[in-house]
């Protein structure tokens, strides 16, 4: 069973842009945004990190790799719900550090709670291109509006 467009949109906006849901959950006031904006952290993965995985599950490990923070505001993420498909997309370019050694054949992205360490994995998805072979001197990045996370 899928959530409604209103519920999906409220949850996506709470997670990605730190907006109050305003949909009358719990005490009727809805889920309330955090007092500070904070970030979510985008990661690269060499296989499906799975729904039960964490941020380190199959995470890329080329020399120089690091997860990238994206601010939880409308300057970090863009919301849309065309035709009932609720989604968020990166509002700006997300650039990972240049590969200085080793390699990773990336097939998935992740979005989670922590800059380093195990961290909670909130969302993951397959790359639309199938894979990205990262090797020496390659700098992986997502152009604005190309990292799309669907609610349903």
- The answer, yes or no, to whether residue 29 has pLDDT greater than 70, is no
Q: How confident is the model at residue 8 (pLDDT cuts 50, 70, 90)?
A: confident
Instruction: Pick 36 or 143 by higher pLDDT.
Output: 143
Q: What does the DSSP assignment read for 43-76?
A: EEESS---TT-BTTTTB---BT---EEEESSTTT
Instruction: Pick 33 or 143 by higher pLDDT.
Output: 143
Mean pLDDT of 62-91: 90
Burial of 143 (0-12, 13-18, 19+ CB in 10 A): exposed
**What is the pLDDT, as a whole number, of residue 19?**
81
The 10s digit of each residue's pLDDT in 91-135 is 999 999 999 999 999 999 999 999 999 999 999 999 988 889 999
- Report the C-alpha gap between 46 and 65 in whole angstroms: 13
Strand partners, 2: none
Q: pTM for the full model?
A: 0.88
Distance of CA 88 to the CA centre of its chain: 9
Domain boundaries, the chain: 5-24+37-150
Pick from 145, 124, 2: which is nearest to 67 by CA?
124
Q: What is the mean pLDDT of the chain?
A: 88
CB 134 within 8 A of CB 66: no
**What is the pLDDT, as a whole number, of residue 56?**
98
The single residue listed with the structure tokens 């390699």 is: 103
């Amino acid at each position: 069973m899928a959530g409604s467009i209103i519920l999906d949109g409220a949850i996506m906006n709470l997670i990605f842009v730190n907006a109050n849901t305003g949909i009358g959950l719990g005490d009727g006031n809805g889920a309330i945004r955090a007092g500070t904006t904070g970030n979510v952290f985008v990661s690269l993965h060499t296989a499906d990190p799975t729904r039960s995985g964490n941020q380190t599950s199959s995470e890329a490990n080329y020399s120089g790799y690091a997860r990238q923070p994206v601010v939880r505001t409308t300057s970090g993420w863009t919301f849309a719900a065309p035709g009932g498909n609720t989604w968020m997309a990166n509002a700006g370019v997300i650039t990972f550090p240049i590969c200085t050694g080793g390699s990773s054949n990336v097939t998935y992205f992740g979005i989670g709670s922590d800059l380093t360490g195990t961290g909670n994995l909130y969302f993951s998805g397959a790359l639309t291109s199938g894979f990205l072979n990262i090797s020496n001197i390659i700098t992986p990045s997502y152009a604005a509006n190309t990292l799309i996370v669907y609610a349903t």
